[in-house]
Amino acid sequence: MSNVEKNANKKQDVVSKDVRGELTYENKVIQKIIGLSLERVPGLLHVDGGFFSNLTEKLVNTNDVTHGVNVEVGKEQVAVDLNVIVEYRKNVPTLYKEIKDVIVSEVAKMTDLEVVEVNVNVVDIKTKEQYEADSVSLQDRVTDVAESTGEFASEQLSKVKSGIGSGVAAAQEKLGEGAEFVQEKVGEGVETVKDAAAKAEPRVH
């Protein structure tokens, strides 16, 4: 290596050491890494985000790999919580080990973060055929709900256009009450979450 190249490399090292800053990751980035890595685990049918999360996924016709993947991300460490559906006849402890190994490997490979905790809750066990049938059934139910909602909305719009003033007023009143109720409950929920978060000990640093 020539003296010019050596001097250039030394200069780059000095510049790198003098630059301040930090590298951070949004939770959804770690969730996506984990979600994509879990698609390669045989015997794991689904990471379950709960009924409403699954319903939303079907409504918008998407396969969001972050659904059901809950993480706590620190500056150096990650903790993971999963609810999963396992294929019938698969050894669950072995599957749990495979899930941990894949998560630890992929997160470290892409981020250098240390996975210090992986909690897996098995919410159901199904055959592949049963799981696929249930998925189709849910899609059908979502389609029915969407069509019914569309018909209802169209009917209500026709009534409004027909000039049923009293109906409009009543609907607006109910809507206002509903919005206030939802707003109140959301506020209570936020406060509860804040209180719980304040009391909870962080699992990562």
pLDDT at 9: 61
Question: Of the given ranges (28-32, 103-107, 125-129, 150-154), which has the lowest mean pLDDT?
Answer: 150-154
**Token digits of residue 171:** 């609907």
Tokens of 63: 């396969």
* Segments in the chain forming alpha helices (H): 3-18, 27-38, 51-59, 92-111, 128-161, 165-199
Cα pseudo-dihedral 112, 43, 92, 105, rounded to 10: -10
End residue of a domain, out of 70, 105, 126: 126
Residues in the chain: 205
Question: Residue 127's pLDDT is what?
Answer: 93
DSSP category for residue 75: S
What's the pLDDT score for residue 55? 44
In the chain, pLDDT over 90 holds for what percent of residues? 42
Please state, in angstroms and rounded to a whole number, the distance separating the CA atoms of residues 157 and 133: 36
Q: Which domain holds residue 189?
A: 164-205
Does residue 139 lie within any of the structural domains? no
Give yes or no: residues 112 and 177 share one domain: no
pLDDT exceeds 50 at position 51: no
**What confidence tens digit (pLDDT) does each residue in 62-77 have?**
467 888 899 999 999 9
> Is the domain of 18 the same as that of 94?
yes
Residues 24, 116 within the same domain: yes
Residue 200 lies in a domain: yes
- Specify whether 33 is located in the same domain as 118: yes
Asked if 102 and 46 sit in the same domain, the reply is yes
Nearest to 52 by CA among 68, 36, 28, 73: 68
Residues 99 and 195 in one domain: no
The reported pTM is 0.59
**How far, in Å, CA of 111 to CA of 1, rounded?**
32
Residue 9 domain-assigned? yes
101 in a domain, yes or no?
Answer: yes
Lowest mean pLDDT across 21-25, 51-55, 153-157, 188-192: 51-55
Domain count, the chain: 2
